[in-house]
Amino acid sequence: MKLPAVKSPIFRLVEVVEFDVLMSDDGPYPTRLELFEARDDPGWFRARLWQLELMCMQPWFPEDGATGERSLPRSDEFVLLERRHYFSDDLDPNGFRAPSRAAALAKVEASVEKELGLLLGGGGRP
């Protein structure tokens, strides 16, 4: 891909891992971890973490011209939200080096495990 506006390497999805995280009594949140590798620079990786959440949504349009009220009802929809704060400070999810895909995945999983442990009361930062 040769586009003047593309200023980063082109990444290819190389691994997907999915697991459930119990955040509260509301039940587990399905969580998806994606690992990408730069197409033209083996060993350069990027990671994304998504969590499926149920959101109450209502379209802003169409509106009733006289009252300004929305004419479509609210609905509950599942939405994937990016969770960058689940990576610990020692991992830059926008790009990092690792000797292999397995090593990159292990590094990302360790980062998420560390940060989720802190968020969920598993120790770590004071």
Whether residue 101 contacts residue 37, with contact meaning beta carbons closer than 8 Å, is answered with yes
Where exactly are the structural domains of the chain? 1-53+79-121
pTM of the model: 0.78
Each residue of 6-55: pLDDT tens digit? 888 999 999 999 999 887 777 788 999 999 999 999 999 999 999 998 88
Per DSSP, helices labelled H in the chain are: 101-119
